Structure 1
């Protein structure tokens, strides 16, 4: 009897080694967050086209309405408070709300709502091109993630595939916490704007890095200010910037696409 029981126990342990447990919960499908993997998406060298767009900053510089680093700081602070956090980051929050429940129609509707609210055709086109490039790049980097719902919606024209929604999609599936995903997106907006200013204004790399360090804390405070909002309550209030984006099309000479 003792020999039989020992043999059975040994056989069970052998089977457990050969056949690993395959049952996984829904939460297990989301990888553990790794900050370096997410940091790669925030790199200024990420080839998604941000280097080609100033989103109205070029107009303001050419018109002499934005000439100093102090004025640039004020401009970025205004955009953070009244556009990037209150509008774009709301799409990221919507992604985190609706992806777990597979509420695709609601998610695509919010993406479309904020897409058509961009008054400048160049801005709409630019943010969409960056999103589609990020989608293409991220799909190549992480083919194991669930791309099917997003790919089908983009192909059918139900999703505008703007930069914020693709950022939110990738961040969610990489296991990035919502707060970090929203703040990371705001950081990338600041960095894109400063990099554009380096090509347009009389300022050096050191000044740019000092300004970036001053503005980084605003990513947290501005996100927390709007984090309680329902994504359907997203809003923008930056008329001067909107006009500059619209006027960019008629500039005599341009470095940027928008």
Structure 2
């Protein structure tokens, strides 16, 4: 009798509790490294920074990661935030157009388009409970008006999944930190254990940067580290390279 009561309690959970639980699974899947969006093909200019001796030691790496996160917060979080709060086709296309004009660095622009296109393709195939994702992608591909930049698409997917704006912005900061530290590991700048320690240490700074730059409109988007933009622009001139950017 007691077991039957337990079963009934589990099956009669409020629908909001069930949806919240499913939302957590979607959030973890979206930031999981197994999601094939191509993030690990990019080093955020770290490879070029190493070859130009801007980053030579693990101590330099921590500073570089923090600067990348600051630049991500100031430049890209406004697009994530706006797309999350207004996840519709018109807003997304407008944000995509603005970001394409904002990114003057051809290397970072191509990286953004590459990852964004992959994220849109994967999301429309994985999150089938949101048919509007596939319809938006098909309509945009047929019109050819959208470049598929990563930050607006990430915000769009988060908004359609039902994430709140702060969660989507924190998740975007996390995947940026995850990808650049992963690149540092493959460049032998830091070992796997050192990378895990570094990620934990930078987390506290990343949270402060999130609080500083979150919930801003795209009219406030700006570059805070122009040197990073310049270094990343030199990536295509490297004689040998492991990453695409």
- Settle same-fold status: TM greater than 0.5: yes
Corresponding position: 1:138 with 2:123? yes
Shift of 1:229: 2.3
Provide the rounded CA distance (Å) in 1 between the counterparts of 2:111 and 2:27.
23
What is the aligned counterpart of 1:69 among 33, 37, 58? 58
Work out the CA distance in 1 between the residues paired with 2:203 and 2:230: 26
> 1:85 matched to which residue of 2?
73
Contact kept in structure 2, 1:154 and 1:161, CA below 8 Å: no
Q: Do the aligned partners of 1:112 and 1:160 also contact (CA within 8 Å) in 2?
A: yes
1:219, distance to aligned residue in structure 2 (A) = 3.3
Q: Distance in 2 between matches of 1:154 and 1:226?
A: 32
Q: Is the 8 A contact 1:122 1:249 kept in 2?
A: yes
Partner of 1:94: 82
Matched, 1:127 2:116: no
Q: Which runs of 4+ in 1 moved over 3 A?
A: 104-107
Contact 2:69 2:173 (8 Å CA) reproduced: yes
Corresponding residue of 2:205: 218
Q: Does structure 1 retain, via aligned residues, the 8 Å contact 2:81–2:169?
A: yes
**1:168-214 per-position Cα deviation (integer Å, ceiling 9, x unaligned):** 11111211111011000100000100011111133210000001111
Identify if the C-alpha distance between structure 1 residues 224 and 150 changes in structure 2 by more than 3 Å, giving closer, same or farther: farther
- Matches of 1:41 and 1:60, distance apart in 2: 29
Report the aligned-residue RMSD.
Answer: 1.9
Taking a change above 3 Å as real, the CA distance of residues 186 and 233 of structure 1, as seen in their structure-2 partners, is same
Mapped contact 1:110–1:232 kept (Cα < 8 A): no
Q: Which runs of 5+ in 1 are unaligned?
A: 1-27
CA contact (8 A) 1:40 1:46 kept: yes
1:256 and 2:243 equivalent? yes
- CA shift, 1:228, in A, is 4.2
Separation in structure 1 between the aligned mates of residue 116 and residue 75 of structure 2, nearest angstrom = 15
- What SS does the corresponding residue of 1:122 show, helix, strand or coil? helix
Q: Is the 8 A contact 1:118 1:124 kept in 2?
A: yes
How does the TM-score come out when normalised to structure 1?
Answer: 0.80
Contact persistence 2:116–2:153 (CA under 8 A):
yes
Quote the Cα distance in structure 2 between the aligned partners of 1:202 and 1:110: 35
- Larger Rg, first or second structure (1 or 2): 1
